[in-house]
Structure 1
Amino acid sequence: MTDTPAGFRRHLRAPLEEPVIVVTGATGNIGRRLVDRLLEEGVAVRALTRDPARAALPDRAEVVRADLAEDTDLAPLLAGADALFLNLAAGGAESAQRLIDAAVRANVPRIVLNSSQGVSDTPADETNFISRMHATVERAVRASGVEWTFLRGGNYATNALGWAPAIRATGVVRDAHPDAQGAPVHEADLADVAAVALLDRTGAHVHRIHRLTGPEVLTNAQQVAAIAEVVGRPVRIERISEEEAAEAMAGPHFPLAAARELVGLFGSTVDAPAFPVTDTVERVTGRPARTFAQWARDHAADFS
């Protein structure tokens, strides 16, 4: 386990009798880091996953089978919980609504939602798939009456994992917008901020929106160069059309129309990043956000 960041503990809850935090998406990039962080703080973690046998989560976590897409009562999964970490990646917007309803029935007092910085609280939220989905769930959480905190992440560093198969196979990344700009945020920083919000007893994070980015703006080409440095061999980026990029991105759970919207949004960041760099990670956790170079070192094996 890693050392607790300076300043982290001052935000945590006062000791409670067997507090329980429910984590959705527990085997995902953010969820796995969050489970580790909460266990470090001595908190009981109920980790929800479709396949506990393959989850490979720490023994101290209570690993519970939960297929959030099934039409079953989710309230028993949340019984006795002090807070719920809700990640749309674990089942989509429809499952998120069912979890919110279940949390209300189970008297869960707090929800921390992994949302998107694409949400602007303006009519523009209805103009693309990503912001529309997250804005809908944010509204549902607000309407539930529970305490909430929204984590609006911008460009996730883990998006670069989509390049891994090509880097391993050919050393060539095919992308519509090599000059698209963003400030990639490390999943460990998202997890650390989530833990602070889940365990907060001061009220400092109740009904707060945290906008999260990494510490620096990089183009896609610069991110590819950082990955090349850690794998120790040449990797280049090759420009393709937006339609080719959208077709490569689309899949059973991500419609082609939504992929086209997303590729177009990436194109709009060539002149300037969509979101300014924030200092939220440092303000909340007490230490600077991790760089993309650090992320690349942490994930070198994925690209080798």
Structure 2
Amino acid sequence: MHRPLTIQDFIQLVVNEVARPCPLEERTLLALALTCRAFQEAALDMLWAHQDGLGRLVQCLPEDLWTYSDDPLEDITLSEPTRATTQQDWQRFDVYARRVRTLDIDDSPYFKSQSIQIRSGENEHLAGGVHDITSASFRRLCDFRNLRRFGLNTEMRIILDDDAVQEMAMSWPRLEYLHFSSLESPPTSATLEGLAHLSRYCPSLSSLCINVQTRGTVVSADVIPGGGFCNRALEQIEFRMSFPFGNEAKIAAFLNAIFPNIRSLIGRGEGYGI
């Protein structure tokens, strides 16, 4: 290939043109990645940028860690490992995980796309596998350093604490969209202090849906909420299943300090509203 054609801006223009929505978009990008080394990285970045579910990423793991089910929706069952995983097991996963920009996970029975069923030995007596999604479930997702959108819609309980929120916030500095949606009301231990981590480490976050526990919110003249860091991109927060327990004026003052441009809160009960 002529050297002028290897300029990254030119390569990106070609890949962007190939990636325009069409029935053969993925096949064309894959062919481009496999045919020319100069286009390989840009084409693979575009192929993996938007993922509906974890199916393709799970398939990057060794085949003894997952299997296809007989379900017509082509579920993938990710079983509890029968052996300790090694760094080598995750090498292929890491190569593609870093390319993901948008990750949407929906385990609703009405979501007609490839889905993941995670089963753990200690919970096999429960129908449908694991019923709680904890911070441990998200830890490996923190490797998606370039992630900009993350959405999880599930019928299971999502249980997070402030440390888990901080880990995600520090791992996803480019995050613009973060939505946790659960039909179950969780015994969450995440507080407004957890949201302060998002305001500090995710300055581009503009859409947020999460459950928090607001009881005991403290605001004083001696301590600035969030350590003085704030996010000016966020204008609306959806608390889903959360109730505004505690002093509503203090809750509003805390949120206003870390998200100064917030205009509305959406949640259960009549206590929310700015």
Q: Same fold (TM over 0.5)?
A: no
Greater helix percent: which structure? 1
Q: TM (normalized to structure 2)?
A: 0.28
**More relative contact order, 1 or 2 (CA 8 Å, 6+ apart):** 1
Larger radius of gyration: 2
